[in-house]
Amino acid sequence: VNEAIALVALAAALTAAVARWRWAPDWIVAALGAVIVVAVGALSFHGARTALGRLGPTVGFLAALLVLADGCRRAGVFDALGHLMALGSHRRPRRLLAMVFLAAAGTTAVLSLDATIVLLTPIVFVTAARLPTSPRPHVYACSHLANSASLLLPVSNLTNLLAFAACGVSFTRFAALMVLPWLVAVAIEWVVLTRVFADDLRGTATGVGSVGADGERPHLPRFALAVVALTLAGFAVSSVLGIAPVWFATAGAVALTVQQPPASARDLAGAAEPAFLVFVLGLGVIVSAAGVNGLSSVVDSLLPHGSDLPALLAVAFVSAVLANLVNNLPATLIVVAVVSSSAPGAVLAMLIGVNVGPNLTYVGSLATLLWRRIVHAHDEDVDVGEFLKLGALTVPGTLVAATVGLWLALQVL
């Protein structure tokens, strides 16, 4: 019975998140589900406290990163990136795509995939439209790199933060092990996107564009860039100094907030996405309950153990499949509880799966895609064909090549 209650709570939270009902916001459903699994005894009070104690710092870290990224937006970092991309492109669409790759891979790695999706992608659209050139390859590049370029640092993706907290490697070792998989993933995106969109990337843009023609240097938000650089440097030395990386992120977020305060306290709170933080905490408790009631042993039996290449590949593929079945956040919570006891190799292979896997479908998971098709049958004109094609071309190869890259890094480091 406890198992059934935990799974129902998990299904309800995920359904609410996908369906976005007005009368049942997902964060309330997740929080209510967490309360119910504890109330009925599916998870002991102590178990819930342990789960929250583990997730709390990670969620705080996420909030600091979200505020940091929003501070960068207010300081004009992304507008400046748009200017630099336009100038660097010399009106050639292919060069613009190269600039977009640099900007998107860098933004994703340093400020997390949310910054790329919410803050950089609209700027990229505008930059391409004003050149003028077809925004298609550039926008698709952003949305793909938001996932596949989120392998590098613990701060690049919430999934990484969750795994980072669980696997016990230092910030720099995480980055050192993931740099090769990250480069491999970005390289595969480049090869596939430049081929698929070859027609859009030919020639030189002519004419009416309003950006980059005047050759004027963009205003660089030096303070914000310095804060980001210092925050990164802080992450790098965090293990040497014995200070948790979350404090450097917090310091960076505070510095940007003080230097360029948001319009209102409401804006500041909004940037931290409190509803999402509650959702993550609720989901974490529900997944813990499902874990102790059998889900962990099922997943454990599906996953191979060990750090040899076939085992890592299997972990990456199972994680990618799971991410497409239930979305990558719950997939990470489920898998990380099982593999975190083994070597960090398995945790990082899982990250390759849950970070790259969502590129298979526009909406992040196959289940979400099917569900949205049912719920919003006609009210939206989402053309998923192109996205599915790009996903089929990039994801399988990236999973294999990036995992091989990780395995090589594990042999050397």
Partner 1 sequence: MRALVWITEASWQACVDQARQLLPADAEVTILHVAASDVEQLAGHPGPGRLGRHRPPPPGPTVREISDAEARSLLEAAAERFGRGSQTVARRGRIEREVLEAADELPADVLMLARDGAPRRDPKSIGHFARFVVDHAGCPVLLVWGQQPPGPAEMRWPPHLR
Nearer to partner 1, 174 or 279 (CB): 279
For partner 1, the closer of residues 177 and 360 by Cβ is: 360
Owner of token pair 């990484």? 160
Nearer to partner 1, 159 or 238 (CB): 159
Q: How far is the CB of 11 from partner 1 (least distance, A)?
A: 13
User: Which is nearest to 127 in space by CA: 115, 141, 146, 148?
Assistant: 141
Find the shortest distance in angstroms from Cβ 99 to partner 1. 16
Q: How far is the CB of 193 from partner 1 (least distance, A)?
A: 14
Report the nearest approach of partner 1 to the CB of residue 287 (Å). Answer: 13
Given a contact cutoff of 8 angstroms between Cβ atoms, the answer to whether 374 and 283 are in contact is no
In angstroms, the CA 135 to CA 216 distance is: 23
Q: How far is the CB of 148 from partner 1 (least distance, A)?
A: 13
234: amino acid identity, one letter: G
Q: Distance between CA 306 and CA 145 in Å, rounded? A: 29
Question: Closest CB to partner 1 among 61 and 362?
Answer: 362
- Cβ-based nearer residue to partner 1, 250 or 327: 327
Shortest CB 122 distance to partner 1, Å: 5
CA distance 18 to 13: 9
Which of 61, 279 has the CB closer to partner 1?
Answer: 279
Q: Which residues bind partner 1 (CB under 8 A)?
A: 14, 17-18, 20, 25-27, 30, 73, 93, 114, 117-119, 121-122, 124-126, 129-136, 139-140, 142-143, 198-200, 202-203, 205-208, 210, 270-271, 273, 275-276, 279-280, 283, 327-330, 358, 361-365, 368, 372, 380-383, 386-387
